[in-house]
């Protein structure tokens, strides 16, 4: 039987958010944004431990009370220059601390996705628990896609057939994911599936919804807040 672990890379600066505070700590419903990502993973009974990868110079984490999660939560101060490096460093450090087996599942989830529901998380785990490769939550692209040129003119319209937006969690077995991330160390990738794809494998797309969007720009924060408030007061 494989175990399930979660790993949250939270060592970014949130440059597109244009706020001095790294976005994972921006207030969202009276909590730092990362609280919501941790909480969603914490409530899943199959996930036995959540690793949070912080920047080595993080001085925000300790300002909050995380004791409600303490039985499952481990912080690792080993974030790197990119998301991929933060994840790989986190995986390496987590293995040193804990009994993680080669074939145990790791669910990598962005700190900046506060609206993940227990239903989507459960669906991901159920659909992938017996999968050879692993996969991720994703949604089919909805908008018409334009390829622009340097003059802000449309070069052409891209077909959106079979195009998906990748979300997180992304779920892969420990050894496969570490091998994949080491293999792509010199390539710019922005998610875990890209690393696995580079090995010639085909991660599975598990249908999600757009509520699980990534808070990237300032206006995204207000939208996330509305979604969470509506869930708390239906
Ligand atoms: N991340 C990380 N280490 C990095 C960069 C990103 O752990 N060096 C984490 C972020 O903290 C976030 C997740 O990866 O939880 C997704 O990244 P993104 O949304 O791009 O966050 P940032 O890189 O912080 O934002 P930006 O790209 O706008 O600077
Ligand atoms: Mg980034």
SS3 for the chain, per residue?
A: CCCEEEEEEECCCCHHHCCCCCHHHCEECCEEHHHHHHHHHHCCCCEEEEEEEECCCCCCHHHCCCHHHCCCEEEECCCCCCHHHHHHHHHHHHHHHCCCCCCCEEEECCCCCCCCCHHHHHHHHHHHCCCCCCEEEEEECCCCEEEECCCCCEEEEECCCCCEEEEEEEEEEHHHHHHHHHHCCCCCCCCHHHHHHCCCCCCEEEECCHHHCCCCCHHHHHHHHHHHHHHHCC
Taking alpha carbons only, the member of 42, 194, 207 closest to residue 126 is 207
What separation in Å is there between the alpha carbon of 86 and the centre of ligand 1?
Answer: 9
pLDDT in tens, 122-140: 999 999 999 999 999 999 9
The answer, yes or no, to whether the previous bond of 124 is cis (omega within 30 of 0) is no
Instruction: Say if ligand 1 is within 6 A of residue 82 CB.
Output: yes
**Predicted local confidence at residue 97, as pLDDT:** 85
Query: Alpha-carbon distance 28 to 41, whole Å?
Result: 17
Looking at residue 1, its pLDDT comes to 85
CA 219/CA 225 separation, integer angstroms? 10
Cα(105)–Cα(101) distance, rounded to whole angstroms?
9
The listed CATH number (3.50.50.60, 3.90.550.10, 3.40.50.2000, 3.40.50.2300) that belongs to domain 4-232: 3.90.550.10
Give the CA dihedral 165, 50, 10, 223, nearest 10 degrees: 50
Q: How many angstroms does the Cα of residue 1 sit away from the middle of ligand 1?
A: 32
Q: From the CA of 13, how far away is ligand 2's center (Å)?
A: 8
Which numbered ligand comes closest to the C-alpha of 14?
Answer: 1
Ligand index nearest the alpha carbon of residue 112: 1
pLDDT value, residue 234: 85
Please give the backbone phi and psi of residue 4, each rounded to the nearest 5 degrees, phi first: -120, 125
Q: Is the CB of 167 within 6 Å of ligand 1? A: no
Q: Quote the pTM value.
A: 0.98
Q: How far is CA 31 from CA 35, 102, 154, in A?
A: 6, 35, 41
pLDDT for 98 equals 74
Each of the 234 residues of the chain gets a pLDDT tens digit; together they read 899 999 999 999 999 999 999 999 999 999 999 999 999 999 999 999 999 999 999 999 999 999 999 999 999 999 999 999 999 999 999 999 878 999 999 999 999 999 999 999 999 999 999 999 999 999 999 999 999 999 999 999 999 999 999 999 999 999 999 999 999 999 999 999 999 999 999 999 999 999 999 999 999 999 999 999 999 988
Q: Is the CB of 54 under 6 A from ligand 1?
A: no
């Amino acid at each position: 039987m494989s175990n399930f672990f979660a790993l949250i890379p939270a060592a970014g600066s949130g440059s597109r958010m244009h706020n001095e505070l790294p976005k994972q700590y921006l207030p969202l419903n009276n909590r730092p944004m990362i609280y919501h990502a941790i909480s969603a993973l914490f409530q899943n009974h199959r996930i036995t431990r959540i690793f949070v990868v912080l920047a080595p110079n993080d001085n925000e984490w300790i300002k909050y009370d995380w004791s409600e999660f303490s039985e499952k939560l481990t912080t690792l101060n080993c974030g790197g220059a990119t998301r991929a490096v933060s994840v790989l460093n986190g995986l390496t450090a987590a293995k040193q601390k804990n009994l993680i087996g080669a074939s145990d599942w790791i669910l990598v989830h962005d700190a900046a996705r506060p609206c993940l529901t227990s239903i989507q998380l459960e669906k991901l785990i159920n659909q992938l628990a017996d999968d050879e490769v692993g996969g991720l939550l994703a949604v089919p692209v909805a908008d018409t896609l334009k390829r622009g040129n340097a003059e802000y003119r449309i070069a052409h319209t891209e077909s959106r057939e079979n195009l998906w937006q990748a979300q997180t969690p992304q779920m892969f077995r420990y050894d496969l994911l570490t091998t994949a991330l080491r293999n792509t160390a010199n390539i710019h990738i922005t998610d875990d599936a890209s690393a696995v794809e580079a090995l010639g494998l085909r991660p599975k797309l598990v249908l999600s919804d757009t509520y699980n969007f990534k808070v990237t720009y300032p206006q995204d924060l207000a939208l996330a807040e509305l979604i969470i408030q509506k869930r708390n007061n239906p």
